[in-house]
Amino acid sequence: MDRNQVLQKVREFTLNELLKNPNYDLKDDEPLFSSGLIDSFAMAQVGVFIETEFNLYIPDPELTVENMDTINQITDKILAELAAQQ
């Protein structure tokens, strides 16, 4: 899976499940949590999304706003974990 495919999946999930607004003009570098766009509650949803969609488990200490604030960051985290698995 290349980076763009992963990014598209993360984007779709963020727009549909977290923002509940498929038409929102979300930038790849736009802060999600630190900006208050999404509450920190939704971090658990990001975790479960990564578990079910990519079969990866991100432990709680790594599932933080610092690591996962933009769809770029989330994508890179997924790619890093996928690479580590191989």
**What are the residues binding other proteins (CB under 8 A)?**
17, 39-45, 47-49, 51-52, 57, 59-60
Shortest distance, position 77 Cβ to other proteins, whole Å: 16
Shortest distance, position 32 Cβ to other proteins, whole Å: 15
- By beta-carbon proximity to other proteins, the closer residue of 43 and 74 is 43
User: How far apart, in whole angstroms, are the C-alpha atoms of residue 21 and residue 15?
Assistant: 5
- By beta-carbon proximity to other proteins, the closer residue of 3 and 64 is 64
Shortest distance, position 39 Cβ to other proteins, whole Å: 8
- By beta-carbon proximity to other proteins, the closer residue of 47 and 73 is 47
| DSSP states along 11-52 | HHHIIIIIS--TT----TT--STTTTSS-GGGHHHHHHHHHH
Residue 66 burial (C-beta neighbours within 10 Å; 0-12, 13-18, 19+): exposed
